[in-house]
């Protein structure tokens, strides 16, 4: 998402066999690094549910989840 020099990111659940920018299963949040402070919104219930089902968050998503939980 975003445009030239204006990055914005979705936090999604995707099958590992799908291409990086390909199809995804569900959007569980978003991240905008340009705001002061950066905006991070993640639905904890959905994220925890997917992790219980066996989803493995990337290192970046793990860090974003920790940031959101620490600020809540």
**Domain housing 64:** 2-71
9 within 8 A of 61, measured Cβ to Cβ: no
Confidence of residue 54 (pLDDT cuts 50, 70, 90): very high
**Span 6-52, pLDDT tens digits:** 999 999 999 989 898 889 999 999 999 999 999 999 999 999 999 99
Look at 72 and 7; give whichever has higher pLDDT.
Answer: 7
For the entire predicted model, the pTM comes to 0.84
Q: What pLDDT score does 1 carry?
A: 78
Query: At 53, which CATH number?
Result: 3.30.1320.10
């Amino acid at each position: 998402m975003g445009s030239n020099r204006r990055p914005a990111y979705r936090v999604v659940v995707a099958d590992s066999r799908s291409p990086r920018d390909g199809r995804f299963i569900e959007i569980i949040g978003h991240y905008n690094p340009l705001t002061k402070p950066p905006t991070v919104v993640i639905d904890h219930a959905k994220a925890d549910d997917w992790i219980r089902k066996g989803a493995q968050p990337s290192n970046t998503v793990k860090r974003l989840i920790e940031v959101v939980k620490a600020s809540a």
